[in-house]
Chains A and B, each alone.
Chain A
Amino acid sequence: MATSAPSRINDFTLKIATVNGTGSASANTLLMKSIFRSGVPVMGKNFFPSNIQGLPTWYEIRVSHAGHLARSGSVELMVALNPETYARDVRELVPGGYLVYDSTWPRPVLLSRSDITVLGVPLARMCNESFTGVRTRILMKNICYAGVLAALLDLDLARMRELLGETYAKKPQLLESNVKALQLGFDYAREHFACPLPLAIEPMNRTAGHVMIDGNTAAALGCVFAGATVAAWYPITPSTSLMDAFKGFCERLRVDAASGVKRFAFIQAEDELAAIGMVLGATWNGARAFTATSGPGISLMNEFLGLAYYAEVPAVVFDVQRVGPSTGMPTRTQQGDLMACAYASHGDTRHVCLYPANPAECFTMAVEAFDLAERLQTPVMVLSDLDIGMNDWMCPELQWDDAYRPDRGKVLGREQIEKLEKFHRYLDTDGDGIPWRTLPGVHPKGAYFTRGSGHTQFGTYTEDAHDYQLVLDRLMKKWQTAKTYVPRPLIEGSGREVGIVSVGSGDSAVREALALLAAEGISVDYMRVRAFPFGAEVERFLAEHALVFVVEQNRDAQLRSLLTLETPVEKAKLRSLLHYSGLPVSSRFIVEGVLAELRGRPSAVKPSAVGA
């Protein structure tokens, strides 16, 4: 590292600004994977438009030897390839940062800052000279900048060729041009710049035992391993890839090679109302079934979710949250459906929600969701988000226990029904608020009528005040039972006055913020809520801290609202840190928020009556 600048070896953010539909995804994946295979922790975040071709798109790669995988909040190296966004891209660089741009055309605007290093590479010219065909030239420009970065960041070129070989194993012509483009960029950078830059990659051994996977893929795998057989859905960003992945896995793993028989049903519904209806029909009939959607789909599913709650039909619903309200920003991330899912539908309804924080949890929680849905005979919503669902995360390799068998909950079999004098669908025979159910086709004595209208504990229609209330109260008892079944919060540290609470994808940013705050001499405890309803541990954490920051990614402090509605916590001591721009929250945002609050106080803790 022949340089005098402060070293940012394995510790920087690289951002690529380009236009969507030009094939930059493969170059970005190539970069990500080659860093990952160098043993250096890395995270990629895709900020893409809701569009097929021609709008600005960014890809942010965070490299962190310490394993921090959130957005840091700063960019040290920018590859600016989209003239439309040059101005803001240049602005975003930290002082001392590096800018790579396509110098085929003069770009005076890029020289507006004197505190950055500008590296011009004639990408278009080189590709035009080396390749034929408009599309090929555009595509190769991407691999070409990957080559430039390989030289600047000291990436292992042989490993990158190997990755290209894996990608284009069946397309030798494409492989040849890709390798050529990679070398083109690499050679140019080597020839014209002092390579590597101070923010280079140095091989480590911190990614062994890890995979790079997105949450939708991991959730789909969870559905396969949970034994789900019926999947019904309506396409919606950003949940679509979950269903695509499920279908893909099933086609590989569940199709009988000889007969072509498929051990799954995959149904593209006419809308989300039908998708959830199909799931309910299937689970009611004894199959494990699920759907995946996003906020607008949840809105449409409300009516059926209410029925499922009241008639006690299991269901698993993945809500890969995107930015609302309404259509919002379909390709941006948010945690805006916490309230909508918790209390979806009219009347007194409440739903079990699971909040995965990363793809590994998408996998495990998908399996848990099916078990919980059947144990509790109720819909279970898994609230992922676009950031978890569609971005590649480095996470510990997913593990599977072969001893696992689905927990189908309280389902009476033929012999058990035979012995009964009479079957009562909604009777609390065990005192846990969970009644027994039966499946069609088993025994005529097990037959009952499933309905969303008022019913007695015996399963018959009612408009009687007392009989109606008995069932509603028993549902509340079941809710108490649910508190002991759902995943517990993860708590780190204890005894400090200040705590941070977060949920879902905010986790990695909070973890880095904890380290940064500790470096400033501020130690706080941390709790990540992983499920709704909240259990005793959540209440205890809130009770034991005098000041609690609630970090979430929505405007209306929905997690904070849920906490105040569902626990006895004093509202004033919950301080919101709200990030709702549509981009994943950065660690810097949290650090600054916490410091702003604490530094204004004589002591670390002085709750005021002012809300967040």
Chain B
Amino acid sequence: MTFIAKPRVTHPSLPQNALGLTRRAYEGALSTLCAGCGHDSITAAIVEACWRRSIEPQNLVKLSGIGCSSKTTAYFVSGAHGFNAVHGRMPSIAMGANAANRRLTYIGISGDGDTLSIGLGQFCHAVRRNVDMLYMIENNGVYGLTKGQFSASADVGTRAKKGETNLQPPIDPVLLALDLGATFVARGFSGDKHQLVPLIEAGLKHRGFALIDVLSPCVTFNDHEGSTKSYAYTREHYEPAVLADFVPSEAPITVDYGVGEAREVTLHDGSRIVLRKIDSDYDPTDRAAAAAAVQARMSSGEYLTGLIYVDAGEERPDFHQVNATPEEPLNALPYEQLSPGSAGLRKVLARYR
């Protein structure tokens, strides 16, 4: 248990968002993860982002698979429906749910085991379909609930708590997503809320599949000397490429951009992401260059973070655009629009006589 129970009262001095809700309205059940787990920091960042975006709690849908990461959907926005699917199969639940009602906001929380091993196929196909959702991987390189086995994101040479060294190359979700045509690819670190919150805000608003891979150290099984996913190692080796600020459509840009060159990306609803480049040569709208930069950093043992790639014009159609589904959610279409009735049946059957 990380927290003690907090009373559900709203103090008048607590700041409210556009819906008049305080951050408390975006909290969930008590976390049962280990004290100091990176995942809890991510949960806090999600709470903050949802509050800032004034998402109506009932209009958020939380989806997850199985594992430590997948438990966390219970720990934020208790007013939102949650679906804890089977291991590695959350993307298909998300696809179906999204097909039924395109108006809701979908956030999927997964882990490196859930996404990169058992769920690799479904993950890839969700990216291909460009399902309109924010997909977050809480990536710690290790299986927690089964006590410390390497996951598919474990780096070569990283050492397990019990002493074993990993020799198999990792699967990097960021590179994979870039390769599969993802329209929004980011990487964060659970220890850097300042970077993470705007990424989540932008990911929630992005139309299509948004991936945020969050390095999230496991304090119990992967936070030792020799691990490349420990807090210490990650702090030292995560390199922000681009600082992203999320600017809602109604707000003017007031942030002072001191570092590098700033660039705006406008999302479908008019909101904007302002990207501040740390390295002036980095172009987060160039897929191939982004992949090359990620790879270059990786070869020197570093993780490139920030908004690594974004489809600037949101040119790739999402699932519903491809399918030409109506604006009205499919689950709300009146029956009369779905059935051709007895006259329609007679017409259909004419060719079966």
Contacts and interface: CB of A to CB of B under 8 A. Distances in A.
B333 interface: yes
A221 B344 CA distance: 11
Contact of A440 (B92, B95, B104): B104
Given A224-B338, A270-B125, A400-B341, A265 B349 contact: no
Contact of B92 (A249, A274, A444): A274
Contacts of B122: 270, 273-274, 277
Contact of A452 (B79, B86, B129): B86
Given A266-B323, A278-B92, A447-B79, A453 B84 contact: yes
B333 A281 contact: no
Contact of B85 (A221, A271, A277): A277
B96 A278 contact: yes
A405 B341 CA distance: 11
Contacts of B340: 224-225, 253
Interface string A419-446: 0000000000000000000111111111
B331 A229 contact: yes
A468 interface: no
Contacts of B103: 441
Given A261-B325, A304-B89, A451-B84, A286 B341 contact: no
Contacts of B353: 36-37, 211-212
Interface string B91-133: 1111111111101100000000000000001101100010000
Nearest to A265: B99
Interface residues of A, number: 75
A274 to B, nearest CB: 4
B65 to A, nearest CB: 10
Contacts of A307: 85-86
Contacts of B73: 449
Given A273-B89, A277-B93, A265 B323 contact: yes
A287 B99 contact: yes
Interface string B325-353: 11000111101011111101100110011
A40 to B, nearest CB: 14
B331 A271 contact: no
A406 interface: yes
Contacts of A264: 325, 330
Interface in A252-279: 252-254, 256, 260-267, 269-271, 273-279
A464 interface: no
B74 interface: yes
Given A221-B345, A253-B340, A441 B100 contact: no
Contact of A263 (B74, B80, B125, B338): B338
B83 A262 contact: no
A444 B342 contact: no
Interface string B138-160: 00000000000000000000000
Given A232-B96, A282-B99, A452 B330 contact: no
A395 to B, nearest CB: 10
A130 B99 CA distance: 55
Nearest to B21: A444
A204 to B, nearest CB: 16
A450 B74 CA distance: 10
B181 interface: no
Given A440-B81, A451-B84, A287 B100 contact: yes
B86 to A, nearest CB: 5
A286 B331 contact: yes
A450 B326 contact: no
A443 B78 CA distance: 12
A398 B330 CA distance: 27
Contacts of B91: 274, 277
Contacts of A450: 81-84
Contact of B352 (A213, A270, A275, A441): A213
A227 interface: yes
A399 interface: yes
Given A211-B349, A271-B121, A287-B101, A447 B57 contact: yes
A230 B58 contact: no
A544 interface: no
A132 B85 CA distance: 60
Interface in A85-126: none
B324 A262 contact: yes
Contacts of B121: 270-271, 274
A494 interface: no
Given A285-B331, A440-B58, A230 B100 contact: yes
Given A221-B348, A397-B349, A263 B337 contact: yes
A280 interface: yes
A229 B74 contact: no
Nearest to A449: B82
Given A211-B352, A212-B353, A227-B335, A263 B92 contact: no
A253 B79 contact: no
Contacts of A263: 325-326, 330, 333, 337-338
B25 to A, nearest CB: 8
Contacts of A278: 92-93, 95-96, 99
Interface centre among A229, A438, A461 (most CB of B within 10 A): A229
Contacts of A260: 324
B243 interface: no
B96 A249 contact: no
Nearest to A287: B100
A281 B84 contact: no
B274 interface: no
Contact of A285 (B78, B96, B129, B341): B96
B86 A406 contact: no
A232 B56 CA distance: 29
17 contacts: A230-B96, A253-B340, A262-B323, A265-B325, A267-B99, A273-B92, A278-B96, A281-B83, A281-B99, A284-B97, A401-B342, A439-B331, A440-B104, A441-B104, A446-B58, A450-B81, A452-B85
Interface of A: 36-37, 211-213, 217, 221, 224-225, 227-230, 232, 249, 252-254, 256, 260-267, 269-271, 273-287, 289, 303-304, 307, 397-402, 404-406, 438-453, 461
Given A224-B340, A441-B101, 19 more contacts: A212-B353, A213-B352, A249-B348, A261-B326, A270-B121, A270-B124, A270-B125, A275-B92, A278-B99, A280-B93, A281-B100, A304-B86, A307-B85, A402-B341, A406-B335, A441-B103, A445-B79, A449-B74, A452-B85
